[in-house]
Chains A and B, each alone.
Chain A
Amino acid sequence: MKKLLAVTACPTGIAHTYMAAESIEKAAKDRDVPIKVETRGAVGVENELTPQEIAEAHAIIIAADTDVDEARFAGKPVVKVAVSQGIRIPGELIEQALAKTPSAGSPAASSEAPVKENAARRGVYKHLMNGVSNMLPLVVAGGLIIAISFLFGLHPAEGSIGAKLASIGSAAISMMVPILAAYISYSIAGGKLGLAPGLVGGLLATQVGGGFLGGIIAGFLAGYVTKWMIKYIKLPKVMEGLKPVLIIPLLSVLIVGLLMVFVIGTPLSWLMNGLTSWLEGMGQANAVILGGVLGAMMAIDMGGPFNKTAYTFATGLLASHIYGPMAAVMAAGMTPPLGIWLATVIAKKKFTKEEREAGKVASVLGLSFITEGAIPFGAADPLRMIPAFMIGSGVTGALSMLFKATLMAPHGGIFVLLIPNAIGNLLMYVLAIAIGTVLTAILVTWFKRNKPIEE
């Protein structure tokens, strides 16, 4: 049975919205077509369509003279008309909607998808996606520009074009986490008041070494703080105008900032100190285990405290002429984005078009040892993706140590291969990265849910 959905809305929101809804419902009933109609009128949004209903629907009728948040119907067949047509020709609209062909893949995907998910989970996913999609251009631009800068040498002279490119790329990458946090917060707060505390919280998250996971925390914190303030701060009418321009920006940024610095920042620095002494203690133990631990740490938070500690630990050893851990760390930092790329190639159906495009970029970023290339995927679905990245990177790090690969440069990815003698045991090193990439891709494909409503 084909299920239909409809949305009606008009500027005044008193009469036409509801007449159109009623008349579409009536026409659907006459034809025995199941339908649900969302009304967006003066009494608010009623009968709101859920993402699951949208995923399952055959097509959607929009009869509206105002904005009805169409982004949520991306990829679905839509019949769009003025609200008056909803009243006048509901039967025709239903016939048109039934005649639409759903885009390939989506009905199958929605029927396979785990059906029962509560509203809160879907909300969290929506907020995350809002952050990730706004962050993506920065990852792509920043990552690729850094990769291009490597073409001018790994240690470009100050003031040279290579150095300039590297700093442009780093500027873009440095804004990833703030933008991620800002748009998660925007989505939760339901508007631009969420941006300022999200941006500040995200920037602080990077400064205290929280990485993108810290950014996600900052985004949710900022979003809910702002939402709560919008709802509960009541001012006398004469001062009401101050609420959005002064009171909420000031208090939300202040509260989120204090929480990030004291509640998130302080334990993070303890954590990083603890991890460093733990790794130092392990230095004498089994090299393969150390490689595995370093590898998993690179992937667990991709730029957060674990990643930073592992990277700093390995670069610190370079000064003591110990080159094995550096090789393990770089290999493990390359496999998350490389694995993601491979997964989008071998399991196209599980990824949206946007994700497949991002996957192509991730391949270049992975080759360049820019682990951040995997962050959009990790941030969108951390509980499933991060374990996949960690296992893949852990195995890569362990193999690199097992093969006694060494690396004398702290960055560069595939570009280091071009420098003679920078890598010891080159062939086996490449093999370790290849095995890690395949393993990551298999795990990502296995853990990943079927794609959501897009397409």
Chain B
Amino acid sequence: MNIHDLLTEQTIFLPLETSASKEDIIRQMAAGFKEAGVVEDTEKYVQAVLAREQSSSTGIGFGVAIPHGKSAGVVKAGLAFAKLAEPAEWQSLDEQPVSIVFMIAVPEANVGNEHLQILVALSRKLIHEDFRNKLLHASSAEEVIDTIKNM
């Protein structure tokens, strides 16, 4: 399983210029998914992600948020990464603004286990500070992909 299948240049935003609204960030990243062929029906997917945010914020603390959605609008599993130019409010658990966003797209139908395994490994890794720091200081898409590849 290759990380390139999940994370492509179109879905890496270094940095993401933003008006600092949560929905705006999600929409910009969803547009990246559309370009990469991960998402077909962008609106459907965005609604799924926003619905998930409604139930409880995906801001997990440490300046990281992981919005995600499972939707019929998704063609194949995908991952998007954004380093925000300005930290954004995300109603995080620790009430700190967010500067790293990982967005996850999962199709409605059963997704291959390997994809899930990568997302699982990534989730676990995000708990560790050195991993987060590497991502925060990454200056190119390759560096981001490399960091995740070697996690």
Contacts and interface: CB of A to CB of B under 8 A. Distances in A.
A16 B60 contact: yes
A18 interface: yes
Interface stretch (A19-27, A211-219, A269-277): A19-27
Nearest to B121: A18
B103 to A, nearest CB: 11
A171 interface: no
Interface in B42-70: 52, 55-56, 58, 60-61, 66, 68, 70
B124 interface: yes
Interface stretch (B82-90, B111-119, B135-143): B111-119
Contact of B113 (A43, A65, A84): A43
Q: How large is the interface on A (under 10, 10 to 19, 20 to 34, 35 or more residues)?
A: 10 to 19
A43 B117 contact: yes
A42 B119 CA distance: 10
A353 interface: no
B70 A12 contact: yes
A255 B46 CA distance: 49
A42 B116 contact: yes
A41 B93 contact: no
Given A23-B127, A84-B56, A84-B93, A18 B120 contact: yes
Interface residues of B, number: 26
A42 B61 CA distance: 22
Nearest to B58: A15
B93 A14 contact: no
A14 B119 contact: yes
A43 B120 contact: yes
A19 B123 contact: yes
A87 interface: yes
B120 A88 contact: no
A65 B113 CA distance: 22
Contacts of A88: 61, 93-94
B93 A15 contact: no
A28 B136 CA distance: 26
Given A11-B55, A14-B120, A42-B116, 11 more contacts: A12-B68, A14-B106, A14-B123, A15-B119, A18-B123, A19-B124, A26-B127, A42-B111, A42-B120, A84-B60, A84-B93
Interface of B: 52, 55-56, 58, 60-61, 66, 68, 70, 93-94, 104, 106, 111, 113, 116-117, 119-121, 123-128
